[in-house]
Amino acid sequence: MNDLEELIRAEIVERGCIPFARFMEMALYHPQYGYYERAADQTGRGGDFYTSVSVGSLFGQLLAAQFAEWVGQLSQPFGSDNTKFQLVEAGTHDGRLALDILSWFQQRAPELLSQLEYWIIEPSTGRRSVQEKTLKTFVPQVRWFSSWSAMASQSVRGAIFANELLDAFPVHRFGWDAARQIWFEWGVTWDANGFQWIRVADSVRAATSDPRQFVWPEIPQELTAALPDGFTIELGPSAEAWWFQAACALGQGKLLTLDYGLDQEAFFAPHRAAGTLRGYHKHRLVSNLLANVGRQDLTAPVNFTSLQRAGERAGLLTERLLAQAEFLTRIAEKAWADPSRFGEWPPQMKRQFQTLIHPEHLGRAFRVLIQSRS
């Protein structure tokens, strides 16, 4: 049993069992032993999974070209000669995407670089120091905030974005009890064979998680009547709350996420009866999500419908929800038409583009939600 497993076990012994969301939070984000706090590379060939960023620098360059176009559409703040705009990234991880974006501005749109402020929302001090090293040449441009509230009343004029952030947020797991026609929460307990799934008793659930934090999906009566016993769904209230806060921070411009996710009704497809939570280790799906704690990735697709509603509650307009392939192809087509923005693509850039848009790689499963405030 590793140190993190010991800590989780102690919490279970004290509380009887813990909601899965708490287990996932500790497994991924424990400040000392959490999966994302380790020095090791989690993404790319040597890690556990690929992200669009780990494919190469083209992804960041395409995003930067899109941001430059959007920034050109911002209106001037009334009565002000301050032409600054902000790009705000969260889930910055090792800072590679930030570096690719800032380098593109430096090389291809230097006239905008002096107006650009790159803000990073990073709760982890360990991750922040990794990012500071990656971005050392752009230090005057970059500012870190530990949370949305640390930004106080400063509002963003530009774009707020994240790549594969929200699918790494802790989720609660619920199962359908067909006999009682109610959802029960899956928790985690421990026995001599390791961590085990357990149905959280209603009384324990009331004491450990606040039911008011869940916006339950609207499920038609006919669907619940047909759901098989044990049908499992995941709900991510923290992702939705994060999106709402981001939406509130946006004064003018775009809010976008590029992520692995589904529309709400897709969570109820018969082939997803066992839920959508996944674990990855060395590019393979793991069979036991509760094993190897802190050493394997845990992830669940985002619910784009609930994000969309959260943004709209904060006054944003939903512009598009589209496949990553379509989003990046549109940007690339504009870039090809204006060689000053990109120049000739060498073969390795063409290969990166194929990987980013290929339906079997990152093109179809990854989608882009864009909301805006004008």
**Candidate residues 57, 86, 131, 163; the one interacting with ligand SAM per rule CB under 6 A:** 163
The H or E element containing residue 319 is: strand 317-323
- Are 246 and 262 spatial neighbours (Cβ–Cβ below 8 Å)? no
Nearer to ligand SAM, 20 or 268 (CB): 20
- Applying CB under 6 A, the span of 115-123, 187-195, 323-331, 355-363 interacting with ligand SAM comes to 115-123
Q: Which of residues 59-88 bind ligand SAM (CB under 6 A)?
A: none
CA distance 34 to 147: 19
CB atoms within 10 A of CB 68: 18
In eight-state DSSP terms, residue 368 is E
- Are 97 and 59 spatial neighbours (Cβ–Cβ below 8 Å)? yes
Question: How many residues in the shown chain lie near ligand SAM by CB under 6 A?
Answer: 18
The H or E element containing residue 188 is: strand 182-191
- Applying CB under 6 A, the span of 79-87, 151-159, 163-171, 229-237 interacting with ligand SAM comes to 163-171
123 binds ligand SAM (CB under 6 A): yes
CA distance 279 to 296: 6
168 binds ligand SAM (CB under 6 A): yes
- What angle (nearest 5°) sits at the alpha carbon of residue 368, between those of residues 366 and 371? 160
- Applying CB under 6 A, the span of 123-131, 202-210, 344-352, 357-365 interacting with ligand SAM comes to 123-131
- Are 71 and 112 spatial neighbours (Cβ–Cβ below 8 Å)? yes
**Candidate residues 122, 185, 234, 240; the one interacting with ligand SAM per rule CB under 6 A:** 122
53 binds ligand SAM (CB under 6 A): yes
The least distance separating ligand SAM from the CB of residue 47, rounded to whole angstroms, comes to 9
Residue with tokens 């752009």: 138
50 binds ligand SAM (CB under 6 A): no
What is the contact surface with ligand SAM in residues (CB under 6 A)?
36, 43, 51, 53-54, 90-91, 93, 97, 121-124, 127, 163-165, 168
